[in-house]
Amino acid sequence: MKTGAECILQGLQDAGVETVFGLPGGAVLDLFAALYRSPIEFLLTRHEQGATHMADGYARATGKTGCCIVTSGPGATNAVTGLATAHMDGIPMVCISGQVPSAMIGNDAFQEADTVGITRAVTKHNCMVRHVDDIPRIIAEAFHIANTGKPGPVLIDIPKDMQSASTDVVVAGDLNIRGYQDTFISDDKQIDALAEAINSSKKPVLYVGGGVIASGATAELTALARKTRIPVTTTLLGLGAFPETDPLTLRMLGMHGSVMANRAVSHCDLLISVGARFDDRVTGRMDMFAQNAKIAHIDIDPCAIGKSVAVDLPVLGDAKDILIKLLDRVEEIDRGPWMTEVAGWQKSFQFEYDKNESELLPQFVIEKIYEVTGGDAIITTEVGQHQMWAAHFFKYTQPRTFISSGGLGTMGYGVPAAIGAQAGCRDKLVVCIAGDGSVQMNIQELVVAVENDLPIKIIILNNGYLGMVRQWQEMFYNKEYSATPLLPGRYARREKVPQSDYLPDFIKIAEAHGAKGIRVGEKDKVAATLEEAFAYNGPVVVEFIVKPEENVYPMVPPGAGLMEMIQSMA
Amino acid sequence: MTKGNDVNHVITALLENRRGVLARVVDLISGRGFNILSLNVAPTHDNTLSRMTMTIKGDDHVLEQVTKQLNKLVDVVDVSDLSQKRHISAELLLIEVSATPSERAEMAKLAELHDATVVCVHPNSMTIQMAGELDKVEDFLNLLQEGQVYELIRTGVIISPRDGTVNSEQ
């Protein structure tokens, strides 16, 4: 005999959960009473959005399913952005929300919200518990659904009376979800056809997304690329799936991708997509995307294949399984002319910035982070210009070291994601690269890092703007900086603001939360400051006052093709 | 992707017979910008399953996406677009038409010619019940004059494969 709450925690333990993020409330009091006596580690967040992003960051860093607990009503609605973020990027997560007692559902009870209805479109699956006997099965199913197939978030809404009720059914039993397909046996004919296309291709390119990391297939992908000598470009979420220090790397492609990657994709005769979904930020103008190429698409999600582009060679299934089979069937072929062409682009079109600039540039800071860490760190980002620079000027060589909200583009993600990543990887250096705009969206979570001895390093590139939006206003909206300067109201324009009048004071924010704060505005102090921050035994906020109106280049303007890149304003 | 011509597709799906499943399906369809022209849901001979049939207008490519997306829902056990295969379809209608005492006989005859039944006679109108394949229904409706129909109530089309069942679960 167990209570529903005890069954929930037993279910979490059976699923291998070690750490849970969340915030209590009236509708989850029973669950928290059971948690009090449970061996599971609980990290108390200061906002439910923080809890979801921490579970997400934990999942991305460790490969395990992230888990969070929130209360009913506002607790659940606060979790929506985090669920949507995980849903877009295919991150395994289980979110348990409390609900008002069954008898009160539909009565507009205190802290009642239709959580299942509200989160339907932002979860892989969700459900409400109707009978306490169902809890063990529902918890087991939730973890199974979250981390098989294309992973995603699952929400379980549990009324208060279901948590306090008792049941004899304390084990989940065998899983049999008849409407859910969790494994896809790859089709040998599809793999043969792809192998043949690779063997006869003169100009192939591998285009790699987050699915390769989710599948744990980075070693297989690297082996395939090296055996066949096929150059590799990755999406933002694919960073770390292939070593960016390898001679075959083309770095990231797309709107803010490298010129070399976008040229290679535009000129290739075979584009092999692995675990990527042809997002509009990757393809640019669709009718100009990989115009001369046959398109092969390896994906575990049947919906992704043929959604945005017509696919010539579909291969449905798990990337690792398919790449292993493919590796045996491809030949080592000398594609001299293509390699020469690619090498030419690699020589001419690396990511660049003005190294002679006397003012501190954000790109310089990222480059120094790369140098000081030697590339050995988990990087999380917020969303905006700094996110793109973090992709450009740090070279990722290992999976699960670049953690960023790609699909939804959630500002406020980076700080809690860093805390979640650090909670899952205690012995790694975790660095959150942030802008002064988005870092403010979940800065309240900094106290969670301090309380739990999670020594994350938050690097704020402060340019006094919502920089990416300002860049679009500069380029496409007549330089009318509507609502993008982040400065005291008495200043009309950013450039007149003395550094001492910047608001908020991030050093005071850091110190108010019990963290260390350091402000730097000079180039020559960057490396030493980073070394100091990384060596410090605790959370640190380092604020770099950078050149205000620096832009992210190269850039494919919205609506343009990948060959139409702007490389600078000059 | 090239866009084809928009035609009506009839999608049939087996759903878990549980609270909220219909809302989930309808959410998915509307969330992707489609208008459901007709929708019919009821339990099957297996009480744990419901059969849903819906008509959606769109080109083949988008409809393929809709079927794939529906298939991905955990509560959706099976989906197929039967309008592209040999099928039997049927729909039930209640039609209230104008029929003054002097027009009653003629309207009743027209209904009879289409295997429809007069189920209720009102002072100046009558209600006709009709069931049948889509083409037959459309033929009858086309014969009625503008202004002659006071009320048209349709259940929405249901569909079954002409070559027997396609769903392995059955």
The pLDDT tens digits of the residues spanning A519-557 come to 999 999 999 999 999 999 999 999 999 998 999 999 999
Residue B134 has a pLDDT of 86
How many Å lie between the alpha carbon of B49 and the closest alpha carbon of chain A?
A: 11
Q: CATH number, domain at A305?
A: 3.40.50.1220
In chain A, what residues touch B71 (CB-CB under 8 Å)? 181, 302
Instruction: Identify whether residues B113 and B144 lie together within a single domain.
Output: yes
Total structural domains within chain A: 3
- Whether the link from the prior residue into A554 is cis, omega within 30° of 0, is yes
* Interface with chain B: mutation pick from A87, A94, A127, highest number of B CBs within 10 Å: A127
Domain boundary among A348, A373, A388: A348
Confidence grade of residue A297 (pLDDT, cut at 50, 70, 90): very high
Share of chain A above pLDDT 90, in %: 93
Please say if the pLDDT value at position A494 is more than 60.
no
Question: What value of ipTM does the predicted structure carry?
Answer: 0.86
Kindly state the tokens that stand for A77: 């609605």
Whole-Å CA distances, A494 to A47, A385, A462, A480, A501: 31, 17, 12, 12, 11
Ramachandran region of residue A551, left (φ > 0), alpha (ψ -120 to 50) or beta? beta
Choice among A441, A468, A555, A565 that is catalytic: A468
A48 belongs to the catalytic site: yes
Instruction: Identify whether residues B78 and B93 lie together within a single domain.
Output: no
Please say if the pLDDT value at position A162 is more than 60.
yes
Q: Is residue B165 part of a domain?
A: no
Instruction: Identify whether residues B52 and B112 lie together within a single domain.
Output: no
Mean pLDDT score, A4-21: 98
In chain B, what residues touch A145 (CB-CB under 8 Å)? 74
Q: CATH number, domain at B58?
A: 3.30.70.260
Instruction: Identify whether residues B105 and B134 lie together within a single domain.
Output: yes
Q: What is the pLDDT of residues A175-215, one digit of tens each?
A: 989 999 887 889 999 999 999 999 999 999 999 999 999 99
Domain boundary among A167, A202, A222: A167
Q: Is residue A125 part of a domain?
A: yes
Instruction: Identify whether residues A244 and A327 lie together within a single domain.
Output: yes
Best CA proximity match to A456, nearest among A407, A503, A400, A513:
A513
Length of chain B: 170
Using an 8 Å CB-CB cutoff, list residues of chain A that contact chain B: 116-117, 120-121, 124-125, 127-128, 130, 145, 177-181, 286, 301-303, 306-310
Instruction: Identify whether residues B93 and B79 lie together within a single domain.
Output: no
Confidence grade of residue B146 (pLDDT, cut at 50, 70, 90): confident
Instruction: Identify whether residues B79 and B99 lie together within a single domain.
Output: no
Q: Which residue has the higher pLDDT, A151 or B4?
A: A151
Mean pLDDT score, A220-244: 98
Q: Is residue B166 part of a domain?
A: no
Mean pLDDT score, A305-331: 96
Rg of the Cα atoms in chain A:
24
Cβ within 8 Å, pair B23-A117: yes
Please say if the pLDDT value at position B61 is more than 90.
no
DSSP assignment letter at A358: S
Instruction: Identify whether residues B75 and B97 lie together within a single domain.
Output: no
Confidence grade of residue A490 (pLDDT, cut at 50, 70, 90): low
Instruction: Identify whether residues A93 and A203 lie together within a single domain.
Output: no
- Residue of chain A nearest B75, judged by CA positions: A179
Residue B32 has a pLDDT of 81
Please say if the pLDDT value at position A480 is more than 60.
yes
Per the listing, tokens 């030493």 go with: A528
Instruction: Identify whether residues A22 and A148 lie together within a single domain.
Output: yes
3-state secondary structure of A516: strand
Domain boundary among B84, B109, B135: B84
**Cα of A467 vs its chain's centroid, Å:** 20
Residue A502 has a pLDDT of 80
Per the listing, tokens 């709107």 go with: A255
| Planar angle of CA B94, B98, B101, nearest 5 degrees | 120
Please say if the pLDDT value at position B150 is more than 70.
yes
Cβ within 8 Å, pair B72-A301: yes
Choice among A2, A150, A160, A516 that is catalytic: A160
A155-177 burial by CB neighbour count: b if 16+ within 10 A, else e? bbbbbbbbbbbebeeeebeeeeb
d(CA B59, CA B5): 5
Q: Is residue B129 part of a domain?
A: yes
- Residue of chain B nearest A126, judged by CA positions: B74
Kindly state the tokens that stand for A153: 């978030």
Across the interface, of A127, A178, A303, the residue whose CB is closest to B72 is A303
Is B23 at the interface with chain A, CB within 8 A?
Answer: yes
Cβ within 8 Å, pair B75-A179: yes
A110 belongs to the catalytic site: yes
Residue A496 has a pLDDT of 61
Residue A235 has a pLDDT of 98
B contact residues 57-76, partner A, Cβ 8 Å cutoff: 61, 64-65, 68-69, 71-76
Q: CATH number, domain at B110?
A: 3.30.70.1150
How many Å lie between the alpha carbon of A277 and the closest alpha carbon of chain B?
A: 14
Please say if the pLDDT value at position A404 is more than 70.
yes
Cβ within 8 Å, pair B74-A145: yes
Best CA proximity match to A542, nearest among A368, A359, A351, A420:
A368
Instruction: Identify whether residues A83 and A152 lie together within a single domain.
Output: yes
Mean pLDDT score, A17-44: 97
Q: Where are the alpha helices (DSSP H) in A361-489?
A: 362-373, 385-393, 414-424, 446-451, 467-476
* Interface with chain A: mutation pick from B1, B61, B72, highest number of A CBs within 10 Å: B72
Domain boundary among B38, B69, B84: B84
In chain A, what residues touch B61 (CB-CB under 8 Å)? 306
Instruction: Identify whether residues B34 and B92 lie together within a single domain.
Output: no
| Planar angle of CA A151, A153, A155, nearest 5 degrees | 145
Please say if the pLDDT value at position B166 is more than 80.
no
Mean pLDDT across chain A: 95
Instruction: Identify whether residues A263 and A126 lie together within a single domain.
Output: no
A471 belongs to the catalytic site: no
β-sheet bridge partners, residue B11: B54, B81
Best CA proximity match to A264, nearest among A204, A202, A347, A350:
A204
Choice among A111, A190, A398, A444 that is catalytic: A111
Instruction: Identify whether residues A368 and A338 lie together within a single domain.
Output: no
Q: Which domain holds residue B33?
A: 7-84
Instruction: Identify whether residues B139 and B93 lie together within a single domain.
Output: yes
Intra-chain end-to-end CA distance of chain B, in Å:
35
Q: Is residue B122 part of a domain?
A: yes
Please say if the pLDDT value at position B91 is more than 70.
yes
Four-residue CA torsion sign, A310, A313, A319, A323: negative
Across the interface, of B23, B61, B74, the residue whose CB is closest to A177 is B74
Cβ within 8 Å, pair B169-A178: yes
Domain boundary among B35, B56, B84: B84
Residue A171 has a pLDDT of 87
Q: CATH number, domain at A74?
A: 3.40.50.970
Residue B2 has a pLDDT of 42
Please say if the pLDDT value at position A146 is more than 60.
yes
Instruction: Identify whether residues A155 and A252 lie together within a single domain.
Output: no
3-state secondary structure of A476: helix
Least confident of A10-19, A50-59, B20-29: B20-29
Q: Angle, nearest 10°, between helix axes A336-348 and A259-267?
A: 150
Cβ within 8 Å, pair B1-A309: yes
Q: Which domain holds residue A268?
A: 188-348
Cβ within 8 Å, pair B27-A145: no
Instruction: Identify whether residues A335 and A465 lie together within a single domain.
Output: no
Least confident of A114-118, A500-504, B67-71, B130-134: A500-504
Instruction: Identify whether residues B95 and B148 lie together within a single domain.
Output: yes
Cβ within 8 Å, pair B16-A179: yes
Instruction: Identify whether residues B49 and B103 lie together within a single domain.
Output: no
How many Å lie between the alpha carbon of A351 and the closest alpha carbon of chain B?
A: 32
Please say if the pLDDT value at position A284 is more than 90.
yes
Confidence grade of residue B1 (pLDDT, cut at 50, 70, 90): very low
Q: Is residue B124 part of a domain?
A: yes
Confidence grade of residue A135 (pLDDT, cut at 50, 70, 90): very high
A509 C-beta neighbours (distance < 10 Å), count: 19
Instruction: Identify whether residues A156 and A228 lie together within a single domain.
Output: no
Across A95-99, A519-523, B86-90, the highest mean pLDDT is recorded for A95-99
Residue B72 has a pLDDT of 93
Q: Is residue A172 part of a domain?
A: no
Greatest alpha-carbon span in chain A: 73
Confidence grade of residue B4 (pLDDT, cut at 50, 70, 90): low
Instruction: Identify whether residues A199 and A344 lie together within a single domain.
Output: yes
Please say if the pLDDT value at position A342 is more than 80.
yes
Confidence grade of residue A20 (pLDDT, cut at 50, 70, 90): very high
In chain B, what residues touch A307 (CB-CB under 8 Å)? 65
Mean pLDDT score, A78-101: 98
Stated as kind and residue range, the H or E segment containing B86 is none
Share of chain A above pLDDT 70, in %: 98
Q: Is residue A569 part of a domain?
A: no
Q: Is residue A183 part of a domain?
A: no
d(CA A436, CA B134): 61
d(CA B81, CA B79): 7
Count Cβ–Cβ pairs < 8 Å, chain A vs chain B.
44
Total structural domains within chain B: 2
Cβ within 8 Å, pair A121-B75: no
Instruction: Identify whether residues A117 and A13 lie together within a single domain.
Output: yes
d(CA A384, CA A468): 5
In chain B, what residues touch A304 (CB-CB under 8 Å)? none
Q: Is residue A177 part of a domain?
A: no
Instruction: Identify whether residues B78 and B105 lie together within a single domain.
Output: no
Please say if the pLDDT value at position B3 is more than 70.
no
Instruction: Identify whether residues A328 and A431 lie together within a single domain.
Output: no
Choice among A41, A110, A350, A496 that is catalytic: A110
